[in-house]
Chain A
Amino acid sequence: EPEVTQTPSHQVTQMGQEVILRCVPISNHLYFYWYRQILGQKVEFLVSFYNNEISEKSEIFDDQFSVERPDGSNFTLKIRSTKLEDSAMYFCASRPQSTNTEAFFGQGTRLTVV
């Protein structure tokens, strides 16, 4: 069964450093997302991406965040200058062409900012 894959599974970074989280969505899916989950809390929407541009973003997704689809398969989330409060599990998700269908989540990248 096809699945969303994320790398790395765990990233430790120093405060102020840039990190790039990588995702390979399910092929032929067209909608891509990043969510984050601070330990023990709910899943929070960050950004959605469709047709090579951001289609929606939350208040959390400020200027320190950016997303990119550099080629036909990868979807990346960059955090420019990490803060302690960016420590969380980051999930990538993708959906097929139609909306109102299941969002498939990757296994997540645990980001720890020290």
Chain B
Amino acid sequence: GENVEQHPSTLSVQEGDSAVIKCTYSDSASNYFPWYKQELGKRPQLIIDIRSNVGEKKDQRIAVTLNKTAKHFSLHITETQPEDSAVYFCAATANQAGTALIFGKGTTLSVSS
């Protein structure tokens, strides 16, 4: 089945710097790749997603890139702010026909001012 690896597990940046989180997946049939932000004690919330027919997607300070050949995708946050501090999870669909999401282990992002 699908396996999603996520790096780094922790990331500390200064306010205004960029942050990059990387994920790899194992099932070449996966075709949907969301990123979720989870604040302490709260539900995961979608921040951006990308489908397999697209290589890059941007939404203000957040962007995601997808390399299907290499089976990896990355989250880029520019001009980080203290409120970006949270745990970020990448995910991939379990297989092309499935709808379940398989999550990475998460990255704890700390933005210091």
Name B's A-contacting residues (CB within 8 A): 31-32, 34, 36, 42-46, 49, 51, 89, 91, 93-94, 98-106
Contacts and interface: CB of A to CB of B under 8 A. Distances in A.
Contact of A41 (B93, B98, B101, B105): B105
A45 interface: yes
Contacts, number: 58
B54 to A, nearest CB: 11
Q: DSSP majority for the A interface?
A: strand
A106 B104 contact: no
Contact of B44 (A41, A56, A91): A91
Nearest to A92: B43
Given A33-B99, A100-B93, 5 more contacts: A41-B105, A42-B105, A43-B44, A43-B89, A108-B43
B32 A100 contact: yes
Interface residues of A, number: 23
Nearest to A100: B32
A47 B23 CA distance: 23
A106 B43 CA distance: 6
Contacts of B89: 42-43
Interface of A: 31, 33, 35, 41-45, 48, 50, 55-56, 58, 91, 95, 99-100, 102-103, 105-108
Contact of B32 (A44, A50, A99, A107): A99
